[in-house]
Amino acid sequence: MIVRWHWRHQLVILMIALSVHVAGQSMPRALPKPTGKFSIGRVTLHWVDRSRIEPLAPDRQNRELMVDVWYPAEPSAGDAAEYLDVAAFERTLGADGFRTQFGAAYDIVSRGTVRTGALIAAPFAAAAERAPLLIFSPGGGMVREVYTAQLEDLASHGYVVAAISHPYDAIVTVFPDGRTIGYDSKRWPQVPSFEGEPNLNQLEWHADDVCFALDELSRANHAGPSKLPFAGHLDLARAGAFGHSFGGMAAAHACQKDQRLSACLDQDGEAGMRPFYLDPRGWGMDQAFMLMARAAPKGPVPDEELAKMKVTRRQAEEILARLRGYQDRALRSTGRGSYRVVLESKTTTHMDFSDLPALGARDATEAETRWRTLEVIRTYTRAFFDKYVRGAAAPFLAAKPAGELVESVEKFPPATPPCGAH
């Protein structure tokens, strides 16, 4: 089952083994068309981080990453980029395992009928000139491929987007030589408590993957266009990171570690309501930040949940108040300010940040609801990066919430770091 970070009644952390099951038969649904003016290209890259030994590799070789880079492209003829390597996923997971992981989306994905809007290695769009860069980290146990609708939409608006699969955490990572690596729970040495103590091993590995990707893209950018279509076109002074679920926390931590990133966005990733961890001085990060999260369930925590967690109602209320206070302090501790966008939880789901719920929809009405939710997510994501990475006006962020799917949008002003904070 797909591994992700998820909250139930704001007190339960990281529910491993979520599968995107939807009752009934799945209806074939195309990915939504990108909304920007650019055509899209995509290349898939294999990088080796010589600075890190991978302790989970049988031969203890260096850390390896697979990365898809989506970018604005010239309209051209060519081969369409495949959604994912179905044969490699089935070989690694088995047909039953593949079905379990993808739930109701299995039928359409396994048939290979999902089409991206990108062409393989298409020429870079001349009109895009120097493009801002975004690096994406998937949710825990997830793979970069199932966020295609988000990634190619950003590319159609002139961004270069590098999406990572984190080996041994992704359910399947496929390498150019045919090797595959499946999920390995050893990367998670312990399950944190519901108050959100950090699993620094996992968080550091994923944040370091983001920073390493930025290093490699910087090198590629200076190699010239004969090497990669986007080379020479990256504006590395305008770079950001984002991610879903645990990947959102990894993106935030990457910002804390790497000043080359000017903005980070966390899509529904929290540990004990923490989108990131404050340093010992109580400082979050120097950059701009956005937390886009689903609303907490309304009303008191049910008695059965209290019993599971072995806490009294009073203890639960005290914990919740403490966690809410921590989140507010975090959002007030960013050098360029922050936003909290709250999605209503009755209609939306944690997995709506990916393609899977819509691809597994039972009918056209359900698919439309899922894509409509994703369009709201794409719009707020793009508005945030337009303002803090591209430096463009983003009146959408100052407007009232967009439609019934968004409960609130709250802005926190820029803060001054305490003495000695970096």
Mean pLDDT taken over the chain:
86
Q: How far apart are CA 20 and CA 340, in angstroms?
A: 26
Q: Which range among 35-39, 220-224, 346-350, 379-383 shows the weakest confidence by mean pLDDT?
A: 220-224
- Alpha carbon separation from 186 to 1, 93, 203 (Å, rounded): 16, 18, 14
Per-residue pLDDT for 170 more than 70? yes
The average pLDDT across 290-298 equals 88
pLDDT at 65 over 60: yes
Region 53-61: what's the mean pLDDT? 87
DSSP character for 234? E
According to DSSP, the residues that pair with 180 across neighbouring strands are 174
pLDDT greater than 80 at residue 257: yes
Average pLDDT score over residue span 303-311: 76
Instruction: Work out the average pLDDT over 32-38.
Output: 94
Please report the domains of the chain, with CATH numbers, ordered by start residue.
Answer: 39-412 (3.40.50.1820)
Average pLDDT over residues 360-379: 93
Question: Can you give the pLDDT at residue 399?
Answer: 75
Residues 186-212 have pLDDT tens digits of 776 555 444 444 444 788 999 999 999
pLDDT the model gives residue 296: 80
Say if residue 69's pLDDT is above 80. yes
Residue 228's pLDDT is what?
A: 93
Of 397, 387, 280, 407, give the one whose Cα is nearest residue 333: 280
Q: What is the mean pLDDT of residues 68-84?
A: 93
Euclidean distance between CA atoms 244 and 277, whole angstroms: 17
**Which H or E run contains 137?**
strand 131-137
- What is residue 23's predicted lDDT score, i.e. its pLDDT? 32
Q: Return the pLDDT at 188.
A: 66
pLDDT at residue 13 greater than cutoff 70: no
Give the pLDDT of residue 224. 61
Look at residue 303 in the predicted model and tell me its pLDDT: 75
- Residue 167's pLDDT is 95
What pLDDT, on the 0 to 100 scale, is given for residue 8? 34
Distance CA 21, CA 27 (A): 13
Band (59; pLDDT cuts 50, 70, 90): confident
Which one, of 140, 147, 176, lies nearest residue 161 by Cα?
Answer: 147
pLDDT of amino acid 419: 77
Q: Is the pTM of this model over 0.85?
A: yes
Write down the pLDDT at residue 259. 97
